[in-house]
Amino acid sequence: MQRNSKSTAAALKRGPIVLVGMMGVGKSTVGRRLAARLGLAFVDADEEIEKAAGMTVSEIFERFGEAHFRDGERRVIARLMDGAPKVIATGGGAFMQADTRAVILEQATAVWLDADIDILVDRVSRREGRPLLKNKDPRVVLTELAAVRNPVYALAPIHVKSIAAPHEVAVERILEQLPAWQ
């Protein structure tokens, strides 16, 4: 589906589009593709945190703990909320923080990328370096996290289910819902 600049501009009145959801759902991959389709910049919040801290997310968790990481994450996401249209992929826990969630809901268009646990388990098993999964059963952790996080993610005005299909399918689903939300 080709989009014209008028509908894209209408969809982006509220500044950034922020992707939220569980680890492994595809926020970074979908975000890059969505940004390319809309002709916007893409920013991965975790990459920005790593640049600011001079260490990886895993290293921050190990050395300073999750609370320290979340504080840095909050500051980075607040900085990214500058009103400029862009696509931002957040870490899975970012939207769980009340201050971060409030900034996103107030200053951006939040999109919840959702997926079934089986899909998430398959995707996270392909990549190392997820601090919340270190030395744990991914299925158990993801199931527990989803039970707590999904009701909060549901506060995002746009909800897109990611399925076992190319990420372009999720991009199309987001594009279909952006104009309807405005």
* Annotated binding-site ranges for ATP: 24-29, 130
* Whole-number Å distance between alpha carbons of 110 and 17: 6
Q: Quick one: tokens of 109?
A: 């268009």
* Whole-number Å distance between alpha carbons of 19 and 108: 10
Q: Quick one: tokens of 67?
A: 């609370």
The helix or strand, by DSSP H or E, that contains position 102, with its residue range, turns out to be helix 98-107
* Whole-number Å distance between alpha carbons of 180 and 182: 6
Point out the annotated binding site. 24-29, 46, 70, 92, 130, 149
Is 148 buried (19+), middle (13-18) or exposed (0-12) by CB count in 10 A? exposed
Bridge-based pairing of strands 17-20 and 86-89 is parallel
Amino acid residing at 152: V
Is-contact 3 147, C-beta < 8 A?
no
Point out the annotated binding site for Mg(2+). 28
In total, the chain counts a number of residues equal to 182
Point out the annotated binding site for substrate. 46, 70, 92, 149
